[in-house]
Amino acid sequence: MEPVHVAIIYYSATGTVHTLAQAAAEGAEKAGATVRLRKVAETAPPEAVSARPEWERHLRDTAEVAEAGHDDLEWADAVLFGTPTRYGNPASQLRAFIDTTGPLWFQGKLADKVYSAFTASNTAHGGQESTLLALGNTFYHWGGIIVPPGYTDPVQFRSGNPYGTSHVAGDGPPGEVALEAARHQARRVADTAASLKAGRAA
């Protein structure tokens, strides 16, 4: 059978979510998936970006990462979305991409895929769960199959977020626990999507 297709579609201003996305890509690949790692387009005005050197630097450093398109969603059996929290919600850059998907949704092309999400915030209770749950609203509308990490691996008892991998960026870059949680989440998503794909092909 053709390998399962996993798209990891993310937004990151200063690199935290990008690092989690890379770990998720590793996890999905380890599970045997073919992976597309895709950033969404930056929509903030250049003057906002240049006002924060770390934002400008990350944008430059990830210039080579391909931008997400509708073809990535159509191609994918499973999609992991990554976003920093913005006042307890997904970043507008990721929402802007999601809000272009009406034609796919209308044709039923977003239904029956596996979806999952990961995030970062600056503070420990800064809205990680609400951000992940807000993305979940969209997955319901798409008729998606939501696969959260739950507490399905020992690392989840250390990372502590059953809704999706999350990291407190104010504590520094993601460490091994957050990275392993991202890998585990993506493995679980890839395994579930592979089982569904095999079952549908049978």
Ligand X SMILES: Cc1cc2nc3c(=O)[nH]c(=O)nc-3n(C[C@H](O)[C@H](O)[C@H](O)COP(=O)(O)O)c2cc1C
Compose the 90-129 pattern: x for residues touching ligand X by CB under 6 A, - for all others.
------------------------------xxxx--xx--
17 scored as a contact of ligand X (CB under 6 A): yes
Cα 23 to Cα 173: distance, rounded to the nearest angstrom: 13
Instruction: Write the interaction track for ligand X spanning residues 20-59; mark x where CB under 6 A is met and - where it is not.
Output: ----------------------------------------
Under 8 Å between Cβ of 91 and 132: no
Spatial CB neighbours of 139, under 8 Å, sequence gap ≥ 6:
115, 146
Segment contacting ligand X (CB under 6 A): 84-92, 140-148, 152-160, 186-194? 84-92
- Give the contacts of 128 (CB within 8 A, at least 6 positions apart): 85, 119, 120, 121, 161, 163, 166
Q: Which of 85, 93, 138, 185 binds ligand X (CB under 6 A)?
A: 85
Asked if 35 and 28 count as a contact pair (C-beta separation under 8 A), the reply is: yes
Per-residue contact track with ligand X, 124 to 153, x per CB under 6 A? Answer: --xx--------------------------
By CB under 6 A, residue 8 contacts ligand X = no
Interior/surface letters 137-154, b for 16+ CB within 10 angstroms, e for the rest: ebbeebebbbbbbeeebe
Query: Which lies closer to ligand X via its Cβ, residue 15 or residue 164?
Result: 15
